[in-house]
Amino acid sequence: MGFGISVKELKTTLPSMQDEVQSAASSAGAFAFERNAILLDIDGTLLDLAPTPAGVLVPSSLQSALLTLWKWTGGAVALVSGRTLEDIDRIFAPVKLPAIGGHGAEIKPGVAGRETIVRPLPLLDERMRWRILELAAPGILIEDKGYSIALHYRQAPERGPALRKAVSLLTSEFAAGTYEILPGKEVIEIKPTGFNKGSAVLELMEMEPFRGRAPIFVGDDVTDEAVFAILPEIGGHGFSVGRVIPGASGTFAEPADVRRWLEALASRAPE
């Protein structure tokens, strides 16, 4: 299946610090609503980071744009996140989109009659969970997701180096290849190996309404690199946020630019 919009055309729709949103709107009509799918990371990509994961804000204009794009792509818009599906639905309520949660541990295709897929994956070892809880300190928020556990240190960035060292030593106590450390923006996450966002996207793209479409993925963090790596296999293209990521065809400056691009794209949807 061909890519509904050329890389050259798509790049002209990507706002950056120098480009105006009007430029995006003028080119967004080249997007093929019937042939493309849109896959979006959440934190640091769609939404600005907040002091705590629960503190993120979803603008009503973004909700409206996502709903319009979901409608005119036939449902082929999905959120791809380290958050759980329950948490994704909570922060985007009342909009409920197809989604990949838990870095690929959960998949919700968003098709009527198709149940959410929860992979039979190993949960964190209880010894690991309790050892991580021992790292609790002022300014460090520990988020237990079941399949993984994250240590947020946005409120105490000076603790980052010591925390990374402690987590590395902790995981080394277990058999090699048992756990994976996912560094992020003032967060460190630990999860069992064997699944990631990339493997989950491959699975999602075999499901309706995503099957046979060319995906456009936007992500910003280390955990999104697994998706960029598999995009060539499925005829997709990726765009990073805030930094250049290997495999990305272009870069947005910040989440606000991604939101404006989506709004411009939605504004060109058929009436």
Q: Which residues pair with 117 in a beta bridge?
A: 107
Rg from Cα positions in the chain = 19
Helices (H), 172-254: 197-204, 225-230
Tokens of 97: 């989109």
Separation of alpha carbons 87 and 101, rounded Å: 9
Separation of alpha carbons 76 and 61, rounded Å: 19
Active site residue 19: no
Could you tell me which of 159, 150, 160, 206 has the C-alpha nearest to residue 182? 150
Separation of alpha carbons 180 and 199, rounded Å: 15
Is the distance from CB of 227 to CB of 39 less than 8 angstroms?
yes
| Given the residues 19, 41, 87, 224, the one annotated as active site | 41
Q: Which residues pair with 179 in a beta bridge?
A: 192
Is the distance from CB of 76 to CB of 213 less than 8 angstroms?
yes
Q: What is the DSSP secondary structure assignment for residue 47, as one 8-state letter?
A: B
Q: What is the dihedral of CA 185, 188, 194, 195, to 10 degrees?
A: -40
Give catalytic residues, as residue numbers.
41
